[in-house]
Amino acid sequence: MIVCVAVVGHQNNPLYLQSFTEADDALKLHHIVHCSLDVIDERVNNPKKTGPTLNETFLGLLYPTENYKVYGYLTNTKVKFILVTTDLDVRDADVRNFFRRFHLAYVDAVSNPFHVPGKKITSRTFADRVSDIVRTFGLGTAV
């Protein structure tokens, strides 16, 4: 289950962060998303280590915490998408698919002429679309 998705801007500032849990761990998820930026920095700054993922937007598993797994995605405009899930066994293809759809939703949201680039995304449509994507995570390929 996806517990949290986040969009992080150039200056590593959160642009959108939504958690999907009933539990009281929103703050913890904030921490997880924030800490995962370190891994993204590391991967972006030392691309030779990751080898095959060079020039790829999907950054893969960023780091496992005790209960969660964190995946990352970096757009060409250096906006980061972060996904936190509780599933211990996640297929890479599912995550890639998720990020692809999420990216499309993000592009639509920032293409809104009333959106100022670099500011938080407050669009309700975007939020709805994201929760839709989150809900169908893993289903599309399973069927």
Partner 1 sequence: MEDYAEELRTPPVTLIYLVGCPDLHPTISSYLHSEQPPINTLALPDFSKISILGRTQKETVDSGQHGGILKRDWLLKHRTKVPAVVAALFSSDQVSGDPAQWLQVCTDLENLKIVVRGRNIKLVVVLVQSTDKDEVSEDRMIALRKRAEIDSKYLIFFIHNDASELTESLNRLGGALAELANLYYRDEGRRIKTRIEKKNFNHIELNIRYCFKVAVYAEFRRDWVEALRFYEDAYRALREMVGTSTRLPPIQRLVEIKIVAEILHFKMSTLLLHGGKVVEAVVWFQQHIVSYKTLVGAPEVVFLHWDWMSRQFLVFAELLETSAAAIPNTSSLILGSSERLLSEWEFHPAYYYELAAHYMREKRYCLEVALSPSETLKRIESSSESVIQYVFVGQFARLLEQGEAFVMQTLTDAEYVHYALAEGKRFQDSYEIIALLKKSFESYGNLKARRMASYCGSQMAREYFTLGEFSNAKSLFDGVASLYRKEGWITLLWEVLGYLRECSRRLGSVKDFIEYSLEMAALPISSVAESSSCKGEYGPAGSPALPQREMIHKEVFGLVKGEPILTSDEGNCNLAITDDQPLHLEIDLVSPLRVVLLASVAFHDQVVKPGVPISLTLSLLSQLPHPVEIDQLEIQFNQSECNFIITSAPKETVGASSVGETDTRLDSVPNLNLVTNKWLRLTFDIISEQSGKLECLSVIAKLGPYLTICCRAESPASMDDLPLWKYEDLVQTFPTRDPALAFSGQKVVQVEEPDPQVDLVLDATGPAFVGERFLVPVTVTSKGHAIYSGELKINLVDARGGGLVSPREAEPFSMDSHHVELLGISEPDGESEFQAGMDNIKKIQQSFGLLPIPFIKLGDSWCCKLEIKWNRPKPIMLYVSLGYLPNSEAGAQTVNVHKSLQIEGKTAVAMGHRLMLPYRRHPLLLSKIQVASESDHSPSLALNETNILIVSAKNCSEVPLRLMSMSIEMNDDEIGHSCTVQQGGDSPLDNARLVPGEEFKQVFSIIPQLSFPKLAMGTVSLRWSREFGFEEQSCSSLTATKVLTCYKLPDVNVEMVPLIVSLECPPHAVLGSPFTFYVKIQNETVLLQEFKHSLGDSQSFVLSGIHNDTIFVLPKSQHILGYKLVPLVSGLLQLPRVTVTSLRYSAELQPSLSASTIFVFPCKPQFMVDDMGSKLPEPIAT
CB of 30 to partner 1, least distance (A): 5
Binding site for partner 1 (CB under 8 A): 9, 11-15, 17-19, 23-28, 30-31, 34-35, 37-39, 41-43, 49-51, 60-64, 66, 115-116, 118-120, 122
Burial class (CB in 10 A: 0-12, 13-18, 19+), 131: middle
The one-letter amino acid code at 66 reads E
CB of 31 to partner 1, least distance (A): 5
CB of 130 to partner 1, least distance (A): 13
Rounded distance, CA 10 to CA 92, Å?
26
Whether 12 and 19 have beta carbons less than 8 Å apart is answered as no
Instruction: Tell me the β-bridge partners of 38.
Output: none
Q: Which is nearer to partner 1, 69 or 101 (CB)?
A: 69
